[in-house]
Structure 1
Amino acid sequence: MKKADYSRPDYYSRMAKEKGFAARSVFKLAELDSRYGILRHGMRVLDLGASPGSWMQYCAEKVGGDGLVLGIDRKPLNRQLKANERFMLSDVFMAETAALRAQYGAFDLVLSDLAPETIGSKFTDSARSIALAERACQFVEYLLKPGGKFLVKAFQGGDFDRLLKFLRTRFAKVLTTKPKSSRSSSREMYIYCQGFAKGGATEVARPKLRADRIVRGPGREQWPSSRR
């Protein structure tokens, strides 16, 4: 299977540049927010895989000065943060949720647009994507407020259905969707969850997926986040 080439600018890439956003992915979040009413004024938002920062930009505008947006990524942001933004330079597998909770408290919304470095293998790319989504679930278990919201990206295939099954045990409502601005060649899907039922769970709470063996292996640092 040939690896997709996303280096060529498209309509959404050009629009993002014109509007001053760091990446085309902002239009995915904007579309889903318009459809589901995800963001509101005053929310506390955790953005996993935040670099280059377009989702943080959008969220910071939506939550306003009474809200907070914390981004985490192993890649830096090449822009100045707004007053209601914070950024942590860290691999999501190395960030400690207990320390984050102690410093920032709980969040109303957790976003994960984490994506693996793809190699063109449907099975491997999907497994790596699910592993990242699973890690995002750990952040949710420890840092999301009861009744909170979660938006996570995952590639179809492999353990995708198991991930959905797990999320339905944690949230009152779970929806799957693919934004119009997603590239047609991409197998990415977004899972939007509402009504978190188990706030303050332990650090070890996690879905039992076959991707566990990938997350726990010594090669975890091979899969940085990357937004397109």
Structure 2
Amino acid sequence: MATKNRKVNRAWLNDHLNDPYVKMAQRDGYRARAAYKLKEINDALGLLRPGQLVVDLGSAPGAWSQYLRREYPDTTVIALDILPMEPVDGVTFIQGDFREDGILQQLHEAVKGRPVDVVVSDMAPNLSGIASSDAARISHLVELALEFASTHLQPRGALVTKVFHGSGYSQIVEQFKRHFVTVKPLKPKSSRDRSAETFLIGIGLK
């Protein structure tokens, strides 16, 4: 088993080091290749504009916050993650678990009653490999992001959230359709082909 794990780790490391998006991130000064996922989503759908208030959930290590501030310098960004995150200039960061009421309250206070234009969520649980358990964890995080978005988004606002194809995916899409006028799935080119991750975008609250 240990030998197999070492082979998997070596294969991942080889793929990672040869990944063109990893090289682009190093060249462009982004903390992670994920910056290009948000860029592709925004290029396709035009969700982001100058002067918006954007909430970045699951923000560490900070590539999405970097992209937001770099492309839209007057955008107000509030970022949250259970993991620590090195400061990003102009970004308000809250460290804590989004599932905890106290952390959610901090986020509510940081918004200061202003309608949020876009919520972006790259949150993902630690996956166990047990499909039913993982699906439940993923669904729970998406439900929390949906609940926050439905409470705080301005009427024409948008939610971008990471989901995974597999058990529970169709139910998540149905939840989005209950909340949003327009629902679009999108798998960016910068998302690895073999990854089950995709992104679900809801635009315009019902």
- TM-score range, shorter-chain basis? 0.7 to 0.9
CA deviation after TM superposition for structure 1 residue 99, in Å: 4.4
Stretches (4+) displaced over 6 A: none
- For residues 82-161 of structure 1, what are the structure 2 equivalents within 5 Å? 82-83=89-90, 85-94=91-100, 95-104=102-111, 105=113, 106-161=115-170
CA deviation after TM superposition for structure 1 residue 96, in Å: 4.3
**Structure number with higher helix proportion:** 2
Q: Distance in 1 between matches of 2:128 and 2:175?
A: 27
Whether 2:88 is the aligned partner of 1:81: answer yes
CA-to-aligned-CA distance 1:37-94 (integer Å, 9 cap, x gap): 12110110000000000000001123322x201100011112x3313x1100111112
CA deviation after TM superposition for structure 1 residue 123, in Å: 3.7
Task: Name 1:63's counterpart in structure 2.
Answer: 72
Equivalent AA in structure 2 for residue 176 of structure 1: P
Q: 1:164 to 1:171 in 2, by over 3 A?
A: same
TM-score (structure 2 length as normaliser):
0.85
CA-to-aligned-CA distance 1:183-202 (integer Å, 9 cap, x gap): 112111111111123xxxxx
Q: Distance in 2 between matches of 1:121 and 1:98?
A: 32
Task: Name 1:179's counterpart in structure 2.
Answer: 188
TM-score (structure 1 length as normaliser):
0.77
Aligned pair partner of 2:41 in 29, 32, 37? 32
Q: Distance in 2 between matches of 1:82 and 1:107?
A: 20
Q: Is the 8 A contact 2:65 2:88 kept in 1?
A: no
Q: Distance in 1 between matches of 2:196 and 2:168?
A: 14
Task: Name 1:17's counterpart in structure 2.
Answer: 26
- Greater relative contact order: 1 or 2 (C-alpha under 8 angstroms, separation 6 or more)? 1
Q: Distance in 1 between matches of 2:106 and 2:127?
A: 31
Q: Distance in 1 between matches of 2:85 and 2:106?
A: 22
Equivalent AA in structure 2 for residue 115 of structure 1: A
Task: Name 2:204's counterpart in structure 1.
Answer: 195
Question: Structure 2 unaligned runs (5+)?
Answer: none
Equivalent AA in structure 1 for residue 158 of structure 2: K
Q: Distance in 2 between matches of 1:103 and 1:24?
A: 28
Q: Distance in 2 between matches of 1:99 and 1:180?
A: 35
Task: Name 1:212's counterpart in structure 2.
Answer: none
Q: Distance in 2 between matches of 1:132 and 1:102?
A: 20
Question: Structure 1 unaligned runs (5+)?
Answer: 198-228
Equivalent AA in structure 2 for residue 73 of structure 1: D
Q: Is the 8 A contact 1:97 1:143 kept in 2?
A: no
What secondary structure is seen at the aligned counterpart in 1 of 2:24?
Answer: helix
Q: Distance in 2 between matches of 1:102 and 1:14?
A: 38
